[in-house]
Structure 1
């Protein structure tokens, strides 16, 4: 009688055929789509706020605002300052407001997309997805 290891060795020597599974996506759960779109929009909003603050700090550190101040002072013949016109707190607050609006709009668009897909499945029959074991 052969041992288990010999049987497994013989089994692994056989060529395995490629298996393929085809599935149709006929329903997208509404609340799952809303939660996922909320998380994606929230992440993009946080990235927007952080990127805005970093760009402002970088421009200030590279003396770009000083160069703009000098150029505008020459053009207007009066003292001009970008950093007093747009301080970091005001820029960051504007970025937070835009990030919050982005989050709300992104969540609503995700919900609308899920509803439209669920309604269109009745006409189109769904999305065909294929998987293989390769």
Structure 2
């Protein structure tokens, strides 16, 4: 075992190792693959939107902001006093709006991902693509 180790050590000391730099060029993006990735990103953004709206509504409701707005609108200086913000901005309505926005996010982000891939593919035919260089250091 030590003889093999000694021979490998001697060989590595006599021959200098040259590090090769790798240069890659990205010349094509798969439109379907990019659309699938954009769809997954859209789903994640949609879930985040729903969670943020829920947490924001709970925070505003818990801190009593809706009651303060009702009291402000009930004063003689601003409104007629017939408006009840708490009945208009319910959790159900807020979540309905959040779900609609989440679905729109998924659709828009998927379409934008596909269009971006097509535009990149057209641009690489004109320019030549992106270069990436990797070195072992």
Q: Show structure 1 runs of 5+ residues with no match.
A: none
- Taking structure 2 as the reference length, the TM-score comes to 0.86
SS in 1 for 2:131: strand
SS in 2 for 1:24: strand
Among candidates 113, 118, 123, match of residue 116 of structure 2: 113
- Taking structure 1 as the reference length, the TM-score comes to 0.88
User: Match of 1:56?
Assistant: 57
Q: Show structure 2 runs of 5+ residues with no match.
A: none
Deviation at 1:72, TM superposition (A): 1.1
SS in 1 for 2:6: helix
Deviation at 1:101, TM superposition (A): 0.5
| Farther-moved stretch of structure 1 (17-26 vs 67-76) | 17-26
SS in 2 for 1:19: coil
Q: How many residues align?
A: 134
Structure 1 distance, partners of 2:60, 2:16, is: 62
Among candidates 88, 91, 95, match of residue 92 of structure 1: 95
> Pairwise mapping of residues 6-85 of structure 1 onto structure 2 (< 5 A)?
6-10=6-10, 11=12, 17-74=18-75, 75-85=78-88
The root-mean-square deviation of aligned C-alpha atoms, in Å, is: 2.3
SS in 1 for 2:81: coil
Deviation at 1:6, TM superposition (A): 2.9
Structure 1 distance, partners of 2:4, 2:66, is: 76
